A and B are shown apart, each in its own frame.
Chain A
Amino acid sequence: MAIPAFDSAFAEVVSLPKKEQLARWLIKVKGSGSVSEYATLPDRYLYAKIAVAYGCPLDEASYISQPIIYSINAIYRKVAASSDNGLLFDDMKTGLGSVVAAIRGDQNISDRLGFYIDLPEKYQLALAAVS
């Protein structure tokens, strides 16, 4: 079944530079903002803002002061409604793939989770930004 509306949005975002993909993800979660407002920031700042936009427990400065993987873990716990503390993931590809799987509700289906984790980063970020 073709899904033209999604396909069109996904194709647009997957071709963007990484920072613009992150900015799109942030804007989707926040519900407001512009790509130009965020796309010049370092990745760590963008992930921190995304974590805060999802309602993660620490403030933005705290996430900024930590490695990106801490923000990824916080986002996962929020999106997957996981109560685990500490680091669930220690590498970005697994963490980001797991976040995308959770956004799509597929985090508990192992072969699908593996698919999202194996996806190249640009597809992971595009899915996060448009799903």
Chain B
Amino acid sequence: MKIEKPENYELPKDVADGGTFDELVTFKVEGEYLVPTMIGGVEIVSEDDTEESKMAENATPEEEAAASEMEKAPMRGMGKRIMGMA
């Protein structure tokens, strides 16, 4: 069944961004605790803290090649190393 959209109707912002926290996350009760089980309708599966979860900064050869191509473009060169943040 379709409902005609009222004039000037806009979807609530929550619909687009996942809603409130309570709408986004589903919990189960374990004793005195709430344990998150789903987020955005997707089951939360813990990852072991090994290969996938490590945010390695070492690029693969393919990545370096892609980066090298990018750096050929103007304004893409490596700048001086800045140790502090502005």
A residues near B (Cβ < 8 Å) are 1-3, 5-7, 10-11, 14, 40-45, 57-62, 64-68, 70, 73-74, 85-87, 92-93, 104, 106, 109, 112, 115, 119-123, 126-127, 130-131
Contact = CB atoms under 8 A, between A and B. Distances in A.
Given A6-B17, A121-B55, A61 B77 contact: yes
B78 A11 contact: no
B47 interface: yes
Contacts of A86: 84-85
B18 A62 contact: no
Nearest to A106: B21
26 contacts: A1-B19, A5-B16, A6-B24, A6-B40, A7-B40, A10-B39, A41-B66, A42-B57, A44-B59, A58-B82, A59-B79, A60-B76, A61-B77, A65-B82, A66-B81, A68-B57, A74-B85, A85-B85, A104-B17, A104-B21, A109-B21, A112-B21, A121-B52, A123-B39, A130-B18, A131-B18
B47 A120 contact: yes
Contact of B57 (A6, A41, A43, A112): A43
A40 B18 contact: no
Interface string B48-69: 0000110111011011101100
B29 interface: no
B70 A41 contact: yes
A42 to B, nearest CB: 4
A11 B41 contact: yes
B1 interface: no
B3 interface: no
A10 B41 contact: yes
